[in-house]
């Protein structure tokens, strides 16, 4: 098995020297164990936070740890009745091509004919649930609301725009970092308007796209996007803070919005959330999302990097915006 481990804590943008590639040989599985060959491994923005030695909602990786995170694969050797050879599983063992561990550390997943296992790592999994919970539980989105989503062309963003529309949002606006992504948002993902945040001030572009103001802001980005949203919010508006990727790789203290007082004058509410506290919504989400999927109402994109050895590159490329939809590492035969 080839595993990617944390060798050193990154400062600012991670570099290759912060990681090491280690080869591990396994004996035959002991009683209760299974061996899983991964098919897709997820690279996620939150992993950057876990590389720092700071208090957060998940404990930091320790030096020498495999970069833990979601992956899907198939049982290739089994000494556990619950997970026979061939079972498709979801787990959190992260950046490795093969993993052998206690069967309790893997969850069997139902395979949907015609759909790739990888969907369990985004639209039919954690990032889809994040979009759903952010819009419903956190932002209390109502039919007719104007919704603004930052980071709209990524994994969470492509889910959020479609879910907002399917739940009856009036106008959905997205921002992303390239003309191709902006075109995709309106052509494929049902956004009513979209803009490239690199082409001009977010505040001005958002004001143009939302002439009647914004009722719900779903934020993946922070920084100038949060400030722009605060400037465009309607009275009683709700802001769901999902991520702040502008700050993940900076070494400087991020600057806060200068217009936070709009929270008072417009009676706004702002709530941050982490999806780990909302797994109770998984059955409700799965039912809704499977229904939409089955009805052909959900589009998705995957940006795929091949080979476990390229996990670090995939992770860095994702944080630089190389992905459309979900960034994944695919493990070949
Ligand atoms: P994405 O697929 O959205 O990938 C990250 C994207 O961020 C890139 O594609 C890039 O797109 C964009 N980006 C990078 N730097 C900047 C910048 N300086 N300004 C604006 N956009 C930038 O990742 P995910 O969908 O997995 O995650 C999206 C967000 O949601 C992250 O902030 C993540 O931390 C958060 N998240 C939070 C969860 C929670 O429980 N609260 C759970 C899951 C995710 P572009 O080309 O448009 O710049």
Are residues 146 and 32 located together in one domain of the fold? Answer: no
Q: Report the C-alpha gap between 10 and 207 in whole angstroms.
A: 37
Are residues 118 and 212 located together in one domain of the fold? Answer: no
In this structure, the residue with its CA closest to atom 32 of ligand 1 is 243
29 close to ligand 1 (CB < 6 Angstrom): no
Are residues 184 and 135 located together in one domain of the fold? Answer: yes
Which atom of ligand 1 sits closest to the CA of residue 323?
Answer: 9
State the Cα torsion 150-287-123-111 to the nearest 10°. 170
Residue 40 lies in a domain: yes
153 close to ligand 1 (CB < 6 Angstrom): yes
Q: Which pairing describes strands 302-306 and 326-330: parallel, antiparallel, or unpaired?
A: parallel
The one-character DSSP state at 137 is I
Which atom of ligand 1 sits closest to the CA of residue 325?
Answer: 2
Range of the domain at 262: 127-277
Q: Report the C-alpha gap between 66 and 59 in whole angstroms.
A: 14
The SS3 call for residue 10 is: coil
Residue 295 lies in a domain: no
Residue 282 lies in a domain: no
How many angstroms does the Cα of residue 131 sit away from the middle of ligand 1? 12
How many angstroms does the Cα of residue 1 sit away from the middle of ligand 1? 30
Are residues 144 and 168 located together in one domain of the fold? Answer: yes
241 close to ligand 1 (CB < 6 Angstrom): no
Are residues 185 and 70 located together in one domain of the fold? Answer: no
Residue 111 lies in a domain: yes
How many angstroms does the Cα of residue 219 sit away from the middle of ligand 1? 9
Per-residue pLDDT of the chain (333 residues; tens, 9 = 90+): 999 999 999 999 999 999 999 999 999 999 999 999 999 999 999 999 999 999 999 999 999 999 999 999 999 999 999 999 999 999 999 999 999 999 999 999 999 888 899 999 999 999 999 999 999 999 999 999 999 999 999 999 999 999 999 999 999 999 999 999 999 999 999 999 999 999 999 999 999 999 999 999 999 999 999 999 999 999 999 999 999 999 999 999 888 899 999 999 999 999 999 999 999 999 999 999 999 999 999 999 999 999 999 999 999 999 999 999 999 999 987
Are residues 212 and 321 located together in one domain of the fold? Answer: no
Are residues 132 and 271 located together in one domain of the fold? Answer: yes
User: How many domains is the chain built from?
Assistant: 2
Q: Report the C-alpha gap between 170 and 168 in whole angstroms.
A: 6
157 close to ligand 1 (CB < 6 Angstrom): yes
CATH code at position 164: 3.40.50.720
Are residues 197 and 308 located together in one domain of the fold? Answer: no
């Amino acid at each position: 098995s080839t595993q990617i481990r944390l060798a050193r804590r990154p400062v600012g943008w991670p570099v290759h020297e912060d990681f090491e590639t280690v080869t591990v040989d396994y004996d035959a599985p002991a009683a209760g164990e299974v061996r899983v060959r991964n098919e897709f491994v997820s690279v996620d923005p939150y992993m950057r936070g876990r590389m720092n030695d700071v208090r957060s909602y998940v404990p930091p990786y320790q030096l020498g740890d495999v970069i833990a995170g979601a992956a899907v694969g198939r049982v290739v050797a089994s000494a556990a009745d619950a997970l026979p050879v061939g079972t498709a599983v979801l787990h959190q063992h992260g950046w490795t091509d093969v993993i052998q561990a206690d069967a309790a550390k893997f969850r069997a997943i139902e395979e949907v004919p015609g759909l790739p296992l990888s969907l369990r790592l985004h639209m039919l999994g954690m990032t889809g649930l994040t979009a759903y919970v952010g819009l419903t539980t956190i932002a209390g989105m109502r039919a007719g609301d104007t919704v603004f989503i930052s980071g709209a062309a990524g994994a969470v963003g492509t889910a959020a725009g479609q879910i907002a529309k399917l739940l009856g949002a009036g106008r959905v606006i997205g921002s992303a970092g390239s003309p191709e992504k902006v075109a995709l948002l309106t052509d494929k993902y049902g956004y009513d308007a979209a803009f490239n945040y690199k082409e001009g001030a977010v505040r001005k572009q958002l004001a143009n796209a939302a002439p009647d103001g914004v009722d719900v802001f779903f934020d993946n980005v922070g920084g100038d996007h949060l400030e722009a949203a605060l400037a465009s919010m309607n009275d009683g508006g709700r802001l769901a803070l999902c991520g702040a990727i502008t700050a993940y790789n900076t070494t400087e203290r991020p600057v806060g919005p200068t217009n936070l007082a709009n929270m008072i004058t417009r009676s706004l509410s702002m709530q941050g959330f982490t999806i780990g506290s909302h797994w109770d919504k998984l059955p409700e989400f799965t039912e809704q999302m499977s229904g939409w999927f089955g009805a052909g109402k959900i589009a998705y994109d995957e940006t795929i990097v091949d080979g476990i050895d390229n996990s670090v590159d995939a992770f860095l490329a994702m944080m630089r915006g190389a992905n459309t939809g979900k960034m994944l590492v695919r493990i070949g035969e």
